[in-house]
Amino acid sequence: MFKNTISNLNRIRQVAEVLARYGFEDVVTNTALRRLITQKRRVSWQHAEKTVFETTRWERIRMVIEELGPTFIKLAQALSNRADLLPQPLIDEFEKLQSDVPPFDVVLAKQIIERELGRPISEVFTEFDDVPLGSASIGQVHKARLLTGELVVVKVQRPDVQEKVRTDLSLLHELVRLTAGFLRNHGLGNPEDIVDAFERSMMKELDYTSEARSMDQFRKLYENYETFYIPKPYRELSTAKILVIEFVSGCKISDKEKLLEWGLSPATVAETGMDIYLTQIFEFGIFHADPHPGNVLVRPDGTLVLIDFGMVGKLTKQQKYAFAGVFIGMARQDARSMALNFRRLAVTADIPDMRRFEADLNDLIEDFTTLDVKEMSMGDLADRLQVIIYNYKLQVPGAVFLILRALVILEGIGKVLHPHFNTFEFVRPYGARIIAEQYSTENILSEAQYTGSQLLALLTTLPTDVRQIMRKISRGDLRLKIEHGGYQGLLRKADQLVSRSIIAALAVAFLLFSGLSLLGRYSPEMRYVQGIPVLTWWSLGITGFLLLILLILGTQRERK
C-alpha cells in the first residue's frame, strides 16, 4: 500500500487540486488528502474566484470527472446505472459524460495485430482499412478482408492501455482509502466494494476473448431465430488484445427513412426488437446491456443484428422471477406484491418501515395507472423506481439498472418507429409467462430438491458445529468479536491525548530530576559546566526536547 501511495503521489495531488478548483475543498480538507497540499496552495484556494459555484454541485462533480480522464469517466458511466448508490441528479449528470477519444496511429494498430498473431498482417488480411470505423478509450475498429475473402472488422486495443488502466485502478483504490470516511458520511456506504466491482468489470473489458465468448453464447441461444442475427467471432484470429468479427452491413434501427426505402415496416421492426430483448431478459436471463441505435442494425430483409458485446448483463433464475414480479404487481395494482418482490430482488433490504414502503409503491401505481398510452413513459417509471430504491437503500443487482436503462433506450427507438409504441404492453405477456414458469411442476420440484439438500447439509454439520462450540465453552476458549462503528475519530483523539500526556509526564519527571540533581553529592569524577553537574544539563536537555515535541504536536493540531 505504501509503495502504491508513493508511485501515485503526483497523480493524487493533481486529483486533489482538481477537486479544489471545482469547489470541493471539503473533500480535501476533511480527508487524508489535505496532507498532500502545501500551505501555499491552501491559501490560493481561499482567495481564488469561485465562478464554478454558478453551477450545481452535481454539475461540478461531472466537470471533475471529465478533467480526470477516461478511467474516471468509465467509472462514472458505470455508476450512472446504479440508482441504489447515487441520487438521480448526479446520475443525470453522469449520463452526459462521453468517453470518445481520437484514434491512434494505424501503424501502431498493425504492429499490435502482428505481435498478437505472431505473423505479418499480409498473411492474415488481403485488405486493411487505414481509417478506423470508430474509436473509444479502450480500442478502435478497422474494416478488413481475410485471405478467404470474408469481410471482417478488427477491434484493436490501444497501446499500453492495460498498464494505464491498472495505474488508474491502483490510484482509485488509494483515493478511496484516503477518503473512505468522508464518502461514508455522505451516504456512499461501500466505496471499496464499488471500486472492486469496477476493477473486475474493467479487467474483463480489457480481455477481448470474453466478448468473443459472449457472442458465441448468444449465437447458440438464437441459432433458430430467423429475424435475429449475431455476427460470428473468429476465435482463432482473436486474442486478449485483438478481436476479429464478421462484418455485417445494415442501417441503424432508428433510421426510419432507410427502413421505408427498403420496404420494411418501422412498426414491425420496433416490435421485433422489443420481443427479442424481452426474450433475452425473461427467457434466457442474459442480455445485451447497451442496445443504443448504433449497436442495433437492420438488414434489408428486416433481420435485426446486435453488435458490440462488451457489456452483457445476467440474471439468476430467482432474480428473474423477482424482477418480473415487480412489474406484475404493478400491473395488478398490488403494492404489497411489489414490495415483497423488491425484497426478494435486493441483495440486502433493511427496510425499517414496510408500511411506508408499500405506501410509496402504491403512490407510484396510482400515478401510472391513471395515464393513457400516450402519456406512459418507461423513462418516468424507471426514474421513479430508482428514486425509491435509493431512498430505501435497497442493494439490488446491477443488472436491474442495466435492464431499466436498456428499456428506456428501446422505448425511445420504438416511439420513433411506432406511433402507438407502449413498452408495458410488451412486458405484460412475458410477466404471465414467468408466473407460469415459476409455479410449474418442474420448477417447484427443483426448488424442493435444493431446499432439501440445504436442510440435509445443515442437519449433517449441525452436531459437529454444536460439539465444537460446547468444547470451546467448557475450555473457556469461546471468543466474541465486537466492532464499534463511528468511534474511530474519538479513539484516535484519545490515543493522541494519551501519547501527549505520557510525553508531558516524562518532561515533568526529567524537570524534577534536574532540580533534585543540584542537591546531590557526587564523586570527584563528576564533570561540572558553569558550576552545574553534567547530569543536570543532560536532564534539562531531555526536558527541552520533550517540550519541543509537545509544541510541534500542538501546532499541527491547530493547523488541522
Cell match 451516504: residue? 187
No. of helices (H) and no. of strands (E), the chain: 22, 13
Helices 398-417 and 423-438: angle between axes, nearest 10 degrees: 140
Cell, residue 32: 487524508
Please tell me whether residue 107 adopts helix, strand or coil conformation: helix
What is the CA 252 to chain-centroid distance, rounded? 29
- Nearest to 53, CA basis, from 67, 63, 38: 63
Q: Catalytic annotation on 308? A: no
What is the CA 33 to chain-centroid distance, rounded? 22
Cell, residue 347: 441483495
CB 403 within 8 A of CB 450: no
In the chain, the N- to C-terminal Cα span, in Å, equals 24
- Considering the candidates 290, 308, 334, 360, report the single residue annotated as catalytic: 290
Amino acid identity of residue 295, one-letter, is N
Please provide the DSSP assignment of 343-398 as one string: HHH-SB---S-HHHHHHHHHHHHHHHHTS-TTT--HHHHHHHHHHHHHHTT-B--H
- CA separation for the pair 171, 4 (Å, rounded): 8
- CA separation for the pair 80, 75 (Å, rounded): 9
Handedness of CA 77, 328, 309, 166 (dihedral sign): positive
Cell, residue 40: 501555499
Cell, residue 155: 477491434
Cell match 564523586: residue? 523
Task: Kindly give the pairing relationship between strand 286-288 and strand 139-146.
Answer: unpaired
The CA distances from residue 247 to 144, 229, 231, 244, 271, in Å, are 9, 12, 7, 9, 25
Burial of 335 (0-12, 13-18, 19+ CB in 10 A): buried
> φ, ψ for residue 376 (rounded to 5)?
-70, 140
Find all residues with CB under 8 Å of 182, minimum gap 6, and list them.
26, 27, 30, 31
Find all residues with CB under 8 Å of 513, minimum gap 6, and list them.
539
The CA distances from residue 125 to 110, 117, 146, 195, 534, in Å, are 11, 12, 4, 40, 89
Strand ranges inside 220-333, DSSP E: 228-229, 242-246, 251-252, 286-288, 296-298, 304-306, 312-314
- CA separation for the pair 422, 426 (Å, rounded): 7
- For the annotated catalytic residues, the residue numbers are 290
